[in-house]
Structure 1
Amino acid sequence: MKIAVYNCREDEASLFETYGKEYDVELSLSPLPPTPETASLAEGCDAVDIITTPVGRELIDIWHSYGIKAIATRTVGYEHVDYKYAAELGISVSNVSYTPHTVAEYTVMAMLMSIRKMKTILTRYMGQDFSLKDIRGKELCNMTVGVIGTGKIGETVIKNLSGFGCRILAYDIYQKDSVKALAEYCDLDTLYRESDLITLHTPATEETCHMINKKTIHSMKDGVILINMARGVLIETADLIEALESGKISAAALDVVEGESAIYYKDFKYKPVGHHEMAILQAMPNVLMTPHTAFFTDEAVGDMVRYSIEHCVNTVRNGR
């Protein structure tokens, strides 16, 4: 059995080698993204392993002609793959899960950095400005934190937060008894109205697209803090900027942003990024931005590689 691996980073290569031997598969590793021009890298393979590059009908058709039986994306999200069309052709599409601690711990770090104004403190320190003006923070124990989405990551965030002594509100269409022991489930209107800090842990769907918008922001507390470690499309970016400029939202921490796919994981040191809204957000002292790296730990990357190979093996060898 042979798998074509696209967008293989240097830090993943040794993991692919290790798990390739464990599952007894031949791997064709390439740093190139999957496109119609690079589709031939999968010729002679049984499956392909990708990350976040969009995969549409044209590419799927080419892979189908090569006899590809499985597309594994080593990401939690899979909206970048036309999985419905792939299914029509009999090609299995899968995503991966990985340890929820990686994003959950990063989320709490982002919360603490936001309420303690760490971006301003660190920026000033680099310029040898050690003054205290405008950097007085808040204590998490005295805040009400709203967690939207209580899947594996959201629930782990809640478990982590329980040690800080803050009040925790939660929203999800599927409620868990394990979460009820630590947080209070409520409707979104209540969560928006009563939370001092709101963190998003929900997938990108038609229903959740731009769930944070001018209307929902208006219903939030003045000075609310917003954390997004999930998907950029959950927030209407223009409305976020307007709320930050007016002070309705006092701070934000964003590991994701709309339109990031053409930018993140690339080096733009010596050329314009070409994302005006990102440039505005990045310039704000009260906005902490990171390039979709909340997932990036040894443990999580290992899970992503292992489970993507495992799916291909299960589909091709075991027919499931």
Structure 2
Amino acid sequence: MKVLLYNMTPEQMFYVKQWREEHPEDDIETTEEILDASTVDEAKDFDCVSLMQVVDIDEEEVYKKLASFGIKQIALRSVGYNIINWDYVHKYDLFVTNTPAYSPRAVAENVLTSAMYLLRNWGQIFYNEQHDLNFVREENLMSDEIYNKTVGIIGLGRIGSAVAEIFSSLGAKVIGNDLIENPANEAFLEYTDFDTVIQNADILTLHTPLDPSIVDMISAKQFKEMKNSAIIINAARGPLINTQDLVEALKEHEIAGAALDVLTEENDFFMKKFNDISELPQTYQELAKMPNVVVTPHSAYYTKTSVKNMIVHSLTDIKRVLNGQKPVYLVEL
């Protein structure tokens, strides 16, 4: 097979080299560019394209040209598929695969890390030490233990289920909401309605895919319904939370903290380096001042296991399709 991998990074390249060594019959080429109208011509003469990017592919020309090159499959090296324009996918008789299970555990462990950071008030402790040279164990820094907490999960696919299992194993009560209730999860969580999760969670964590119907799923109304002592974690997609409403909720002490691995404006500054904070979006500037907020650059998945599986699972599914088999990870919308 002959495949072009867009948006290649050094850590992914390590596993591409391994694939080449193990599959010398395959022609695997890479580029650091993202896929868009200015780079789509690079895919000519390839059987398939594989990509991992956060920038939307909205230009019809991209899909039209891929189809004209004889390419049928767009293989995503990620769980999310909201970057795809599905009208054009259908118009040009293309199909999309993703890698939904490269490591649910990686994201789940990151959510646990974020929760414990906020629950144990580390942000405020570090701020007191670094800014005020204050090492006093003040009463407001006293924390609680996880078995006393209720963890609420919105979205219980592979990642959300892994999150539920980890928190349950630590003794927390876990409640969750999803369009589909998986009986296999009932050993470690209780399914309930969306509003009940919002109102009862001490730790609220989001794990849904993104589509237009759930943009701003968590906004001013939900923040007012949450416990004042609750924290929110988003390791899914930025637009699930209205960021300005989040800032206001934190200022008004409607919630106690937030851990954000994704943001609506992340395309403007994640994976880039800046000289001054004034160059960054205003909402981030406000969040950065708050010791009860932690922002990470869309890195919850970022482990050796995940990066390896992104490459291996994506290329394996491409190989299946080119050999006349059905894809394992077909996205159907």
Tell me the TM-score normalised to structure 2 length.
0.90
How many residues get paired?
320
Report 1:93-132 matches (<5 A).
Answer: 93-97=96-100, 98-126=102-130, 129-132=134-137
Equivalent pair of 1:83/1:93 in contact (CA under 8 Å): no
SS in 1 for 2:256: strand
Q: Does 1:8 align with 2:8?
A: yes
Q: Deviations over 1:239-288 (max 9, x none)?
A: 11111000001111111111212321222246854411122112211101
Q: Distance in 2 between matches of 1:271 and 1:22?
A: 45
Provide the C-alpha distance between the structure 2 equivalents of 1:45 and 1:272, rounded to a whole number of angstroms. Answer: 43
Q: Secondary structure at the match of 1:207?
A: helix
Q: Name which of structure 1's ranges 82-91 and 198-207 shifts more when overlaid on structure 2.
A: 82-91
| Amino acid of the structure 1 residue aligned with 2:79 | V
Q: What letter matches 2:209 in structure 1?
A: P
The aligned counterpart of 2:42 is 41
Deviation at 1:204, TM superposition (A): 1.0
The secondary structure found in structure 2 opposite 1:227 is: strand
Q: CA-to-partner distance for each residue in 1:18-50, whole Å, 9 max, x for gaps?
A: 224445321111112222222232122111111
- Aligned partner (choices 197, 207, 223) of residue 213 of structure 2: 207
Question: How high is the TM-score relative to the length of structure 1?
Answer: 0.93
CA contact 1:3–1:27 (8 Å) conserved in 2: yes
Rounded to whole Å, the distance in 2 between the matches of 1:189 and 1:89 is 40
Q: Are 2:254 and 1:248 aligned?
A: yes
- Give the structure 2 partner of residue 216 of structure 1: 222
Alignment of 1:167-316 (within 5 A): 167-269=173-275, 272-316=278-322
Deviates more, 1:264-273 or 1:98-107: 264-273
SS at match of 1:40: helix
1:147-184 deviations in Å (ceiling 9; x for gaps): 11111111111111112222221111211222222222
Distance 1:83 1:48 in 2: 16
User: What is residue 93 of structure 2 aligned with on the other side?
Assistant: 90
Which AA in structure 1 matches 2:13? Answer: A
Q: Which amino acid aligns with 1:218?
A: K
Contiguous gaps of at least 5 residues in structure 1: none
Equivalent position SS for 2:106: helix
Q: Structure 2, unaligned stretches of length 5 or more?
A: 327-333
Q: Contact (CA 8 Å) 1:6, 1:50: kept in 2 or not?
A: yes
RMSD, aligned α-carbons: 1.9
Q: State the distance in 1 between where 2:257 and 2:27 align.
A: 48
Checking the alignment, whether the CA contact within 8 Å between 1:20 and 1:309 is kept in structure 2 is no
